[in-house]
Amino acid sequence: MALILLTNDDGYDALGFQTLYRVLSKDFDVFAVAPRTQQSGASHSLTLRRPIRVEKIRDGFFTIDGTPTDCVLLAYHDLIKTPISLVVAGINHGPNMGSDVFYSGTVAAALQGASLGIKAMAISLSGKEYTDFTKSAVYASGLISKTLAMERDRLVLNVNIPEKRIKGEKVTKLGQRIYRDKVIRNSEQKNVMYSVIDGTLSYTIAADTDFKAVKESFVSITPLILDLTDYDGMQGVHEYLAGSSTKRRKL
């Protein structure tokens, strides 16, 4: 039976995580390692220079006082003694589309799995209520079965599920998220300030994007890669630097 490492960034007691754990446990061997507290926005951060508290809730279920990335690393290097078939992160309470992937602890956990050579999937629910994850968990279980059968290493899928009707699924590219950030200063006293980062989110609708698919009630499945190299820009940078070197030599 396939061994799935399940984690998230909303904390081990989040409804989305608990529902997915219950549903997946019917068909897979599930080993859960999740943050003890909310870690949304943790991105790919690691806990360094302090011990991480690891608590065993029961066999195959642990919580840690760290980040989603910590969860994957601790599970892989210490807690799990057999090969992991798939790293699954979620179900996140809220979408992770467009440039959300750079901030999301859910997506970071999946990317960490891929960096260890394991197939991985980040699963998020796009909606408003977040009171019933059963439908999305059942869908995720079916998608996981298909993903395990794919003969491809380091596969990372970013999956966003519409909250209500699911008309089907589409393979998409990342769309454009628009952040309108603002900083609210609550108080200031004796050169110490307390500020809150807030703002609003919106997005643009474009063909073949995750935003468009979910808006039209399709599950968005976006394959991600670890390599952030701008291959198209390499030649231009090389030519610029070569030209700058020639100018310096003439001087």
Residue 119: CATH number of its domain: 3.40.1210.10
The answer to whether residue 183 is domain-embedded is: no
Strands (E), the chain: 3-7, 29-35, 54-58, 61-64, 86-93, 119-126, 156-162, 168-171, 176-189, 192-204, 218-224
Residue 170 confidence class, pLDDT cut points 50, 70, 90: very high
Question: What pLDDT score was predicted for residue 186?
Answer: 74
What's the predicted TM-score (pTM) here? 0.89
How far does the chain reach from its first CA to its final CA, in angstroms?
68
Looking at the domain assignment, is residue 179 inside a domain? no
Is pLDDT at 200 greater than 80 in this prediction?
A: no
Strand partners, 162: 126
Query: 214 with 95: CB under 8 angstroms?
Result: yes
Q: Does residue 26 register a pLDDT over 80?
A: yes
Looking at residue 189, its pLDDT comes to: 76
Its domain, for residue 84, covers 3-174+206-250
Mean pLDDT of 123-144: 96
Q: Has residue 113 got a pLDDT over 70?
A: yes
Beta bridge partners of 200: 180
More reliable by pLDDT, 221 or 154: 221
**Does some domain include residue 228?**
yes
In this structure, is residue 109 part of a structural domain?
A: yes
The reported pLDDT for the residue numbered 205 is: 78
Q: Are strands 176-189 and 192-204 parallel, antiparallel or unpaired?
A: antiparallel
| Number of domains the chain is built from | 1
Q: Are strands 61-64 and 54-58 parallel, antiparallel or unpaired?
A: antiparallel
- Determine, yes or no, domain membership for 193: no
pLDDT of residue 246: 58
pLDDT at residue 251 is higher than 60: no
pLDDT beyond 60 at 201: no
For the segment 125-149, the average pLDDT, to the nearest whole number, is 96
**Is position 191 within any domain?**
no
For residue 200, being part of any structural domain is answered with no
Predicted local confidence at residue 210, as pLDDT:
96
Residue 154: what pLDDT? Answer: 81
pLDDT range class, residue 191, cuts 50, 70, 90:
confident
Q: Is the pLDDT of residue 208 over 80?
A: yes
User: What are the tens digits of pLDDT across the range 76-112?
Assistant: 999 999 999 999 999 999 999 999 999 999 999 999 9
Q: Alpha carbon of 147 to those of 136, 137, 160, 177: distances in Å?
A: 16, 15, 15, 27
Q: What pLDDT is stored for residue 42 in this prediction?
A: 92
Q: What integer is the mean pLDDT of 109-130? A: 96
SS3 247: helix
Query: Is residue 158's pLDDT more than 80?
Result: yes
Q: What is the mean pLDDT of the chain?
A: 91
Answer whether residue 186 is part of any domain: no
